[in-house]
Structure 1
Amino acid sequence: MTTIFECEYQGRRYAGTGIPEPGAPLTLRPVQDGWYRKALFEGGGPAALATALEEIHDTITVDPGSAGLRFLPPLLPPASGDSLVNGFMGTHRSKFDRPPAPDEPFARPNYYLKGPGSWLRVPGEDLVVPHEPLWLLEEPEVTLVWVNDDDGVPHYAGYTFGNDLNDIGLHRENPWAWTPYAKLCETSVVPHLFLEDPPETATGRVTIERDGAKAWEGPFSCGADSIFQRIPDMVDHLLSYPLLRHPGTVNYLLLGADKASFHDGFRIEDGDRIVIDVTSHGVVLANPVRYGQEATDTSWSRIRRTVPM
């Protein structure tokens, strides 16, 4: 499996290929913002991204623990308005009472628009949630990356894996109206972009650690063989909407998750660490969970205190 990654180091943007071995030095190539666009838009597909990197002969070697080194979400533009995090819900076969028929008519799954790409986090960074969530749920998901060209035509760049952490307790109380609130938790993604079609099979294990010890563990499956809908149908329908085809936008599409810790009666608490080991693909996504501070002041509340109503 061919992968690429991007990072920041000493104030400059770099890219590299492969999944680094723990402790092994990284070979990085300097890149400009949007370096991938020409290669992707000229019809070479995801594989063209690796070729474009190999054509950059200037390299540096750094230690993975170097100060100032930060991996980035795949192909994230520096301007947050140029990227969107989208997701599907209720897509897994385990949530249906029957298997899909071979000629099953497409029925659009539930969808949400989570926010700008600047909300994405990478391994090791905190995932901030509301200050009093009802019941948090981790969601290991395949994440597709699409880049719109200057004419608004989406180009598939590859896939990675994400954790769509959300407040399923809020969703369960009012699934028709409160789901957008439930999704207002930060999402993390693996920084490595797999330059292939979406995976037919993707499996692994989730471990939730509390005070350094394992508090819950369970398996997951999030590949195409676990999803009720056909991925091309899901993507074609969603990216037919003009607002998602704005020129230059990078779309991160989360394909949905199977049942997890919530369905086992486990509650994720402040300070817990969620470790998603995608064993089928050799990558790990680990993030601490942090409850956000209560909003004690807003511009509106200040206006109410200072201006007679």
Structure 2
Amino acid sequence: MHLIQYLDSQGNRAVGVTEGGQTRQLLEASSIYDLAMAATTTIGGLPAVIATMQQGEPVDKAALLAEGRMLAPIDHPDPAHMHVTGTGLTHLGSAATRDAMHKANGEKPAGEMTDSMKMFRMGLEGGKPAAGERGVQPEWFYKGNGHIVANPGHPIPSPSFALDAGEEPEIAGIYVIDQHGQPRRLGFTLGNEFSDHVTERVNYLYLAHSKLRACSFGPELRVGDLPRHIEGKSRIIRDGEVVWEKPFLSGEDNMSHTIANLEYHHFKYELFRQRGDVHVHMFGTATLSFADGISTRSNDIFEIEESQFGLPLRNPVRVEEEKPVIIGGLY
């Protein structure tokens, strides 16, 4: 089952469900968040709630995406109550680029492990614990709240002060916190965990700055568990031509951590278990155009696709004009 959110022909919010290759509108729903919160108190979860709802005529979701009417597949009525976060160095091969950057900066002499490689090795050795055990915690970062999310098909803004505007093709887990303060997973989506890799390369301690950027995820929410093997394509399109393309891998068969271990080390903090909140958690990648020497330009289009997740995630990048910050006292 896949779910989408979109604007109908009158500009009103709507929800669609895809089952058996056909997408139909859920006539009694306008928000996946509302469906999810209802499912937290229903035996059978999301499928049970959806089964009680009347469905409308078939919906052409590809046309919705092309017309710019697709919304992110989860949001919150108050965007400040959506947390966008992620983990790094979680995929087999993901340490190579980071390690090379740090050695190029002279952070460690040749032959000595960088902190990134140490963290990656920790994941290899302890990121997939046995049942009932706790694994090693991963690298973790904060991206922002619901205000940073660009809808599928819409531009991802890059601030004027950024040194780079690079894609990161990832899988994002989608969660709500139920009335008991417990995380409840809806499913997974494609994600573009957009970052500034040049800023990160200046010094590893700038990683936190490099992650404070917009992102996009969707267009479809795949309800259920994550497939063990995910193999998609990430590409950059410039002036109608593909200038870079590469496969990306995800799923636990291609990771140094289990999804359960990554989830535990995020939700172990009470801060992230506040009733009614939404969480979008990015699980990392080993594939970057930046690693191949690509420097993106304004109006380049990022495209991330994987057939198990439905429609591709496409977003142009737009460099913003400088926005003066005026700090005034209240005294």
Q: Normalising by structure 2, what TM-score?
A: 0.80
CA RMSD in angstroms comes to 2.8
CA contact (8 A) 1:4 1:17 kept: yes
Counterpart residue number, 1:125:
154
> Per-residue deviation at 1:25?
7.8
Q: What SS is found at the alignment partner of 1:199? A: coil
The 1:69–1:175 alpha-carbon spacing in structure 2 relative to 1, beyond 3 Å, is closer
1:141 corresponds to 2:170: yes
Q: What SS is found at the alignment partner of 2:42? A: helix
1:78 corresponds to 2:105: no
> Per-residue deviation at 1:202?
1.1
Q: What SS is found at the alignment partner of 2:124? A: coil
Counterpart residue number, 2:220:
192
The 1:17–1:103 alpha-carbon spacing in structure 2 relative to 1, beyond 3 Å, is closer
1:57 corresponds to 2:62: no
What runs of 5+ residues in structure 2 fail to find an aligned partner?
A: 96-116
Q: Normalising by structure 1, what TM-score?
A: 0.85
CA contact (8 A) 2:28 2:54 kept: no
> Per-residue deviation at 1:141?
0.8
Counterpart residue number, 1:7:
6
CA separation in 1, counterparts of 2:20 and 2:73? 15
Could you give the per-residue CA deviations for residues 244-276 of structure 1, whole angstroms, max 9, x where no partner exists?
Answer: 001100111100111321111111111111111
Larger helix share, 1 or 2: 2
CA contact (8 A) 2:235 2:245 kept: yes
CA contact (8 A) 2:267 2:273 kept: yes
Could you give the per-residue CA deviations for residues 146-167 of structure 1, whole angstroms, max 9, x where no partner exists?
Answer: 1101221111111111000100
CA contact (8 A) 1:145 1:250 kept: yes
1:286 corresponds to 2:310: no
CA contact (8 A) 2:219 2:312 kept: no
279-288 vs 242-251, which deviates more? 279-288
CA separation in 1, counterparts of 2:244 and 2:167? 12
Counterpart residue number, 1:299:
326
What runs of 5+ residues in structure 1 fail to find an aligned partner?
A: none
CA separation in 2, counterparts of 1:135 and 1:69? 26
1:1-309 aligned within 5 A? 2-9=1-8, 10-18=10-18, 26-31=24-29, 33=31, 34-44=34-44, 48-57=45-54, 59=56, 65=63, 70-94=69-93, 95=95, 100-101=124-125, 106-176=135-205, 178-295=206-323, 297-300=324-327, 303=328
Could you give the per-residue CA deviations for residues 34-54 of structure 1, whole angstroms, max 9, x where no partner exists?
Answer: 13312234353xxx3233223
> Per-residue deviation at 1:181?
1.8
CA separation in 2, counterparts of 1:238 and 1:293? 35
CA separation in 1, counterparts of 2:224 and 2:60? 28
CA separation in 2, counterparts of 1:188 and 1:40? 26
Give 1:51's aligned amino acid: A
CA separation in 2, counterparts of 1:228 and 1:213? 35
